C-alpha cells in the first residue's frame, strides 16, 4: 500500500531518544486510516540507531554530510508519501499530529506548517533562553520543530536550502509560507498538538547558555557559520 504520509527523522547517534520518538509516531499513526512510512536518515552513526530503526520497521537512508538540509532532503528524496513530515529524533509528536495534518491539508487552505514546541522540562534559564531567540523567530512569523506539507509544495521550493548549516528549518518555513501565499494558502501551526522536545542542549551547555551568549545566537541565526554549527550540533555528540 502506498503511504499517504512519509515521516522523515534525521538521526546522528540517537539510540537514547529514537525509541520514544518512534513510539509517539506509531501512536499517532494508529489514529488514522492512511498508511504511513517512517524514514530514518542515518548520519555518521556509531551507536545502535540503525538497529533500533530496523527493529521498528523503518526505512533506512544514509547521508553523512554535516548539513541538516542535505540530511532532510535525502529522506525526502527517498519518501513515497504525498505528505512529508519531518521530526527530530529527540522529539515526541502528539497522538493527534497526523490526524490534524491530514485534516488541515485536506481543506486546501494551508500550505503546510509547524507545531508548538514544548521542552520536556522547564527552568527559569530555559524560559529566559527561549525569550532570547524569540525576536529572531517572531521576525519570520513561522513556527518550527515539526514540519508538514504536500510533496509537490516541498519540491516547488526546492526542499531545504543546503547553503544553510543552521536554522535551515526556519529558512524552509519562511520560504514555504511565501510559496503558499501565492495561491492564497496560509501557514499553519499545530497549537493543540504540541511537539515535546528533549532538553539535551540545555543539559550539555547549561540552561542559561543562549541568554549568556548573544553573539553565538547571532552566528547561529546567520545560518552559514560552520564553526558555530559544529560546536552546537554536528560535533557535540561525535562519540
Domain range for residue 45?
5-120+143-198
CA angle, 82 then 86 then 91, to 5°: 145
Give residue-wise pLDDT tens across range 111-138.
999 999 999 999 999 999 999 888 887 7
pTM recorded for the entire structure: 0.96
Residue 232 lies in a domain: no
Residue 126 lies in a domain: no
Q: How confident is the model at residue 237 (pLDDT cuts 50, 70, 90)?
A: low
Residue 148 lies in a domain: yes
Higher pLDDT, 236 or 195: 195
Domain CATH number, residue 14? 3.90.550.10
d(C-alpha 153, C-alpha 159), whole Å: 9
Strand order in the sheet with 91-92: 59-62, 36-42, 5-11, 83-87, 144-150, 110-119, 186-197, 91-92
Residue 88 lies in a domain: yes
Residue 104 lies in a domain: yes
Residue 34 lies in a domain: yes
Residue 178 lies in a domain: yes
The total of structural domains in the chain comes to: 1
φ/ψ (deg, to 5) at 173: -65, -40
Residue 216 lies in a domain: no
Stated length of the chain: 239
Report percent pLDDT > 90 for the chain: 90
Amino acid at each position: 500500500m502506498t503511504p499517504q504520509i512519509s515521516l522523515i527523522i534525521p538521526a546522528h547517534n540517537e539510540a537514547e531518544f529514537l525509541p520514544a520518538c518512534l513510539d509517539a509516531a506509531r501512536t499517532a499513526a494508529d489514529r488514522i486510516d492512511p498508511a504511513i512510512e517512517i524514514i530514518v536518515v542515518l548520519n555518521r552513526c556509531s551507536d545502535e540507531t540503525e538497529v533500533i530503526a530496523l527493529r521498528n520497521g523503518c526505512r533506512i537512508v544514509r547521508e553523512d554530510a554535516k548539513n541538516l538540509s542535505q540530511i532532510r532532503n535525502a529522506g525526502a528524496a527517498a519518501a513515497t508519501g504525498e505528505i512529508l513530515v519531518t521530526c527530530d529524533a529527540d522529539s515526541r509528536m502528539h497522538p493527534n499530529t497526523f490526524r490534524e495534518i491530514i485534516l488541515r491539508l485536506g481543506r486546501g487552505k494551508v500550505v503546510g506548517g509547524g507545531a508548538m514546541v514544548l521542552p520536556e522540562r522547564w527552568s527559569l534559564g530555559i524560559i529566559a533562553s527561549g525569550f532570547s531567540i524569540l525576536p529572531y523567530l517572531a521576525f519570520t512569523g513561522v513556527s518550527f520543530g515539526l514540519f508538514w506539507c504536500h510533496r509537490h509544495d516541498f519540491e516547488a521550493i526546492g526542499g531545504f536550502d543546503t547553503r544553510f548549516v543552521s536554522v535551515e528549518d526556519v529558512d524552509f518555513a519562511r520560504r514555504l509560507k511565501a510559496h503558499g501565499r501565492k495561491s492564497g494558502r496560509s501557514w499553519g501551526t499545530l497549537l493543540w498538538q504540541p511537539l515535546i522536545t528533549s532538553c539535551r542542549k540545555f543539559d550539555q551547555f547549561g540552561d542559561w547558555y543562549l541568554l549568556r551568549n548573544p553573539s553565538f545566537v547571532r552566528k547561529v541565526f546567520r545560518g552559514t557559520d560552520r564553526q558555530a554549527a559544529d560546536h552546537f550540533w554536528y560535533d557535540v555528540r561525535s562519540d
